[in-house]
Amino acid sequence: MELKESFALKRAKIGIIGLGYVGIPLALSIAKTGLPVLGFDILKERIEQMNGGHSPIKHIAHKEIANLKEKGFEATTDFSRARECDALIICVPTPLNSNREPDLSFVRSTMESIQHHLRGGQLLSLESTTWPGTTAEVLLPYIEGAGLKVGTDFFLVYSPEREDPGNPDFETTTIPKVVGGHTAACLEAGSALYGTFIDNVVPVSSTQAAEMVKLLENIHRSINIGLVNEMKIVADRMGLDIFEIVDAAATKPFGFTPYYPGPGIGGHCIPIDPFYLTWKAREYGLHTRFIELAGEINAAMPQYVVDKVIRALNEAGKPIKGAKILALGIAYKRDVDDMRESPSVFVMELLREWGANVQYSDPNVPVFPPMREHAFDLSSVPLTPEVLAQFDAAILLTNHTGFDYDMIKKHTKVLIDTRGVYRDAADVVRA
């Protein structure tokens, strides 16, 4: 197969469509092997950043993007250049619409943009999380509409992304890569592509199987986080410390994996992906009750946190209406700048609905970004004793390592902790 040989000999050009939290790490890993990389995105600002050697993502250093440029990387909004590429990897968002149903508009618009620029001998891989059947039912018709025969003169695969932004223990090349092909020849080509820059490629029987793998991984996390969040509520009512309980349970060397509670779940995967399966399952007459229940528990956690804030302020003789409240950390997880589906934002909105004056401090998010469903005209306030003294309460929502936790505790009137940082402090409210 000529395509396999071009991967092995580092002659193939790889196109990355979608330069975000998945696409950029992919581009970095591929370029390190010596394969030329061409990046595509619809955001002109993103293209200018990448071509200027600047990283648009906090946990990826500017020097890494500059090094990428030195290796010949180029970013463009011109999708007609897809024809230059021997392999195209799609890493675009797959959100939910207003009815909490799958929104494949980014995937479809990508295919519409590249359809007439596809050619024989190319490989197309979808990495965006989606429901089982998407690759065959949505992507394949575009390819066939371009007059190409998949498995003969064109190769189609699905390989779910497994990025964990901000996790220093894993990088793209060391995380095993699941790959499913539309045909055996497609799987062979896809394995050859990913094998050039991934240490361990895990082939599965079909694109549908690979799509289901990704959903299982994230639904597994959603369910276990839902379980420990519910356990937190029960433990709190009983006067028990859920973090102590999880830590002790984690000493069991078999049959238990520790998950820790928080103010809810965030990011593009865990709050979104389960709905892709529940939606598709209805096509088969199935109701995924267990999966949906976990989602309901996790979605209710911001309200649980706000109830705790209201009670804590009441104990301090301060009504929630008009109270000045500082949200500490609004990214969805520690030490990243990713705001997608962040539970902190839901907490802030609920507090605002109660009439509170809400502000935030986050070293990774200097200005509250524009979001499709949330609107706050705010910038991060500096975290100093003088600033903390101005607020009636502060809520630790994201446990960034950049926070001075001793200073926060010393100068905060009412402190609510949703992350277990102050688990041994009797004067801190647990939520």
| Mean pLDDT over each residue of the chain, to the nearest integer | 94
Express each pLDDT in 321-343 by its tens digit: 999 999 999 999 999 999 989 99
The torsion region of residue 428 among left (phi > 0), alpha (psi -120 to 50) and beta comes to: beta
Residue 64, pLDDT score = 93
Residue 166: the pLDDT is 75
Decide if 91 is catalytic: no
167 has pLDDT over 90: no
Mean pLDDT of the 50-68 span: 91
Q: How confident is the model over 277-302, as a mean pLDDT?
A: 94
Domain 243-430, CATH: 3.40.50.720
pLDDT (mean) for 71-83: 95
Same fold, 2-206 and 243-430: yes
Q: Name the CA dihedral angle for 326, 332, 338, 342, rounded to a multiple of 10 degrees.
A: -80
Q: What is the pLDDT of residue 372?
A: 73
- Find the mean pLDDT for residues 167-185: 93
Q: What is the pLDDT of residue 310?
A: 97
Res 93 pLDDT > 80: yes
Query: Residue 147: which region, alpha, beta or left (left: phi > 0; alpha: psi -120 to 50)?
Result: left
Task: Out of 52-61, 243-252, 347-356, pick the least confident.
Answer: 52-61
| Secondary structure of the chain as H, E, C letters | CHHHHHHHCCCCCEEEECCCCCHHHHHHHHHHCCCCEEEECCCHHHHHHHHCCCCCCCCCCHHHHHHHHHCCCEEECCHHHHHHCCEEEECCCCCECCCCCECCHHHHHHHHHHHHHCCCCEEEEECCCCCCCHHHHHHHHHHHHCCCCECCCEEEEECCCCCCCCCCCCCHHHCCEEEEECCHHHHHHHHHHHHCCCCCEEEECCHHHHHHHHHHHHHHHHHHHHHHHHHHHHHHHCCCCHHHHHHHHCCCCCCCCCCCCCCCCCCCCCCCHHHHHHHHHHHCCCCCHHHHHHHHHHHHHHHHHHHHHHHHHHHCCCCCCCCEEEEECCCCCCCCCCCCCCHHHHHHHHHHHCCCEEEEECCCCCECCCCCCCCCCCECCCCCHHHHHCCCEEEECCCCCCCCHHHHHHHCCCEEECCCCCCCCCCCEEC
Task: Provide the pLDDT for residue 10.
Answer: 86
C-alpha–C-alpha distance, residues 201 and 266, integer Å: 28
Give the pLDDT band of residue 210 (cuts 50, 70, 90). very high
Residue 1 pLDDT grade (very low, low, confident, very high; cuts 50, 70, 90): low
* CATH top class, domain 2-206: alpha beta
Ranges of each domain in the chain: 2-206, 243-430
For 94-152, the pLDDT digits (tens) are 998 878 889 999 999 999 999 999 999 999 999 999 999 999 999 999 999 999 999 99
Output the pLDDT for position 269.
Answer: 81
Per-residue pLDDT tens over the stretch 339-367:
989 999 999 999 999 999 999 999 999 99
pLDDT above 90: percentage of residues in the chain? 86
Weakest-pLDDT range from 111-120, 166-175, 278-287, 295-304 = 166-175
Q: 85, 91, 186, 269: which is the annotated catalytic residue?
A: 269
Q: For residue range 365-420, list pLDDT tens digits in order.
A: 999 988 777 789 999 999 999 999 999 999 999 999 999 999 999 999 999 999 99
